[in-house]
With several copies, the nearest count.
Chain A
């Protein structure tokens, strides 16, 4: 049994990715928490942005990867791609949930509310629901092959839907509420921008690193399953022959 070549590549590069993530995040956090001035309006609270915004960006990036990977899987039907998709989906769901959570923590002091039906929040919530649906399908379907196919179909449909959802929610919002509370139009001072960029890169690298680990895990799990089957087979054969 040879290890899949994708896995070998992953194993070669994962150290670099992990190191890069650690570096970027350290620098970013230093710049964000200590090296930048507090916001004129929001004061120190603004620092949660350095987590919140990169998390949200990375989650979206993850979803893009998921859709691409799913299309690729349907074309090639290589189980390793499916393992990757499964891993991306779980991580994206986590990052989305964390973005929402940090957003809520930010929203309480800033807007004095945990939640508002803002366009971006709402479409992210819908995204989270789609991802959870995806994960649920994967647990409910026993047949691995079927789970992979169904998941891929869902991911692609959701990806196509995402922009439509976003626009519809935005129009709906503008129709119903004056923009008293909105995340739009906050011009980010250039002093705040640098740490934000570094943090975003770092968060994406962290995502990639976790993705590499998790893909390997799922892949090895699958190998183990196959191995178990083969051992069982050999065991029974030997018993039958004796």
Chain B
């Protein structure tokens, strides 16, 4: 394995070990998402039918806000004892650090999404299509997009005083395309529509992922380096 991949693996390892030890990021993300759903259903007084129409939207609003919690934590956890400084002084390219963090964030977000989806199915009485594999593709493409931009922005906001709020403020407008495409593609996949109907959305997601991973990879240098 190249040193490049090794470093990425070590960063992933570190985040996973800490998560396995404290089990708080994933648990709290799932829990938070449940409460968001609950509050939505009260505030929008949704009956089952109305809920069905906006299900995909609700799923992605919940995922986005939940993901933001994970993203925020992934860098704020580095503030304990100024560990972030140590990362900044590490003799590896900033891009490596970026990819390591993206991998960890993607892993957390994806696991949480997989745990949450059944709850949506039950609470809103969705008729699930047989073939979930397309849905998984949609989830992973959209999550990758959120993680790619989100990781960069989490690093960017971590030293800002009002960090908890700056992350959503900066990130959400940026990922509007991801949100729209994810909602539309999820609708299609949930309805069992033929792939051709929502394929453009998947392509949009894929393009977004590639473009923003590359751009963020370069930009990370300027975010992390003094």
Contact = CB atoms under 8 A, between A and B. Distances in A.
Contact of A153 (B41, B42, B156, B166): B156
Interface in B203-226: 204, 207-208, 211-212, 215-216, 219, 222-223, 226
Which bracket fits the contact residues of A?
35 or more
Contact of A150 (B34, B156, B208, B215): B156
Interface stretch (A158-166, A186-194, A198-206, A210-218): A158-166
A133 B169 contact: yes
B27 interface: yes
Interface stretch (A25-33, A39-47, A135-143, A223-231): A135-143
Contacts of A157: 149, 152, 174, 212, 215-216, 219
Contacts of B219: 153, 156-157
A129 B38 contact: yes
Nearest to A123: B176
B27 A136 contact: yes
Contacts of B181: 168
Contacts of B24: 139-140
A221 interface: no
Interface string A170-194: 0110011100000000000000000
A132 interface: yes
A85 interface: no
A13 interface: no
Contact of B215 (A116, A126, A156): A156
B38 A175 contact: no
B180 interface: yes
Which bracket fits the contact residues of B?
35 or more
Given A115-B125, A141-B160, A171 B200 contact: yes
Contact of A126 (B31, B176, B216, B223): B176
Given A152-B222, A153-B222, A129 B34 contact: yes
B176 A168 contact: yes
Contact of B166 (A136, A145, A168): A136
A8 interface: no
Interface of B: 22-24, 27-28, 31, 34-35, 38, 41-42, 45-48, 122-125, 149, 152, 156, 159-162, 166, 169-170, 173-174, 176-177, 180-181, 184, 200-201, 204, 207-208, 211-212, 215-216, 219, 222-223, 226
- Sorted from nearest, which 3 A-B pairs have the closest CB atoms? A168-B177, A129-B173, A164-B177
